Amino acid sequence: MNVFLALTFSGIALGAIYFLAASGLSLIYGLMDILNFAHGLFMTLGAYVAWDVASHLPTSWGAPLLFSIAVVASIIGGALAAGLTEVLLIRPLYGRPVSQILVTIGLDLAVVGLLLGGFGSNSLSIPVPLWLIEASRVGGLDLPNSNFVALVAGVVILVALELFLHRTRYGITIRAGVENRDMVSALGINVGRAFTLVFVIGGAMAGLAGLLYAVVFSGDLISPTQGDSLLIFAFIVVVIGGLGSIRGSAVAALVVGLVQDYTNFYLGSHSGMAEIGNLSVVLLLALVLEWRPRGLFGSTL
């Protein structure tokens, strides 16, 4: 029972990171009809910016402060990368979806190649406070503190996104744009600004996801291809949750994280197939698409 509860907690933490990775992707597709294959790059860049900033600051500042700065840097790094991508590469290609897909794939390949060239394929280590790699005893279970951080980050971002989408004018514009972009323009609203904003928000969350994934599940190590690995699961979460639906992404991320964790432990240890959790997620995707082709939450926010 204790193992099951520990796995559940770990699966929820994984789901929280999938949610951070997927929610921006979902908003971008919902509003702009863009399959953004550069989203994994925003995760990677967020982690690298965090590492770069933290490694250039004096270690005398202490690991807790350095890590806090790294978190902020990952968010800013992801947001900047996404904003520049939208303005410089996506905007000139509005109305040309195939070109947009190709340019995001090309950008991802090019920058990942640059990172490999600049930093090498060896993983880099993010400085983290000691308590982050320790565990806390809760109800007789030793639960990793890093999982708590991921969980809190996921919940905070979900609540913040919901408040933003439902309480602010920009949020209402984005929800309306997901339904009918032309009509938003016909009300005198510059939809282009909403596009950029959605990219920036999505990039910020992706940057944070990139850093947290490294801290929680990669032993504090970052690598140039980590974002691309995470992107596959982000796409699966978006499709299962329903394109353009934040709540759908939250639920789907949770389900995917749990299924992956349970399957890896219960089936992986018996079958000897280390990656059976990944297979289970793909099967889950197929089942959901068979049952509800538009995903769990359709296309509403």
Partner 1 sequence: MTNALEVSDLHVTLAGSHVLQGISLNVPVGGVTALLGRNGVGKTTTLRALLGLVASTGAISVLGTDVRGWATHRIVRLGVGYVPEDRDVFAGLTVAENLRLAERIEAPRYDDVYAIFPELRERSGQRAGTMSGGQQQMVSIARALLNGWPLLLIDEPSKGLAPRLVGELADALARVATLATVLLVEQNLALVRRLAQRIIVLDHGEVVHTGDAQELDDPDLAKRFLGVSGVK
Q: Which residues bind partner 1 (CB under 8 A)?
A: 169, 172-173, 175-176, 179-180, 182-192, 300-301
Q: How far is the CB of 201 from partner 1 (least distance, A)?
A: 19
Q: What is the CA radius of gyration of the chain?
A: 19
Using the minimum distance from each CB to partner 1, give the nearer residue, 166 or 286. 166
The answer to whether 224 and 44 are in contact (CB under 8 A) is: yes
Q: How far is the CB of 175 from partner 1 (least distance, A)?
A: 6
Cα-Cα end-to-end distance for the chain: 36
CA separation for the pair 100, 91 (Å, rounded) = 9
Using the minimum distance from each CB to partner 1, give the nearer residue, 92 or 192. 192
Q: How far is the CB of 191 from partner 1 (least distance, A)?
A: 7
Q: How far is the CB of 95 from partner 1 (least distance, A)?
A: 10
b or e along 126-158 (b: 16 or more beta carbons within 10 Å of the residue's beta carbon)?
bbbeeebeeeeeeeeeebbbbbbbbbebbeebb
CA angle 251, 260, 28 (to 5 degrees): 45
The phi, psi pair for 141, rounded to 5°, reads -110, 145
Using the minimum distance from each CB to partner 1, give the nearer residue, 39 or 247. 247
Any idea what DSSP says for residue 90?
I
Using the minimum distance from each CB to partner 1, give the nearer residue, 125 or 185. 185
CA angle 31, 292, 240 (to 5 degrees): 55
Q: How far is the CB of 170 from partner 1 (least distance, A)?
A: 11
Q: How far is the CB of 90 from partner 1 (least distance, A)?
A: 17
Q: How many CA atoms lie less than 13 Å away from 124 in the CB half-sphere?
A: 22
CA angle 138, 142, 145 (to 5 degrees): 85
Using the minimum distance from each CB to partner 1, give the nearer residue, 64 or 298. 298
Q: How far is the CB of 158 from partner 1 (least distance, A)?
A: 18
Using the minimum distance from each CB to partner 1, give the nearer residue, 169 or 270. 169
Using the minimum distance from each CB to partner 1, give the nearer residue, 170 or 266. 170
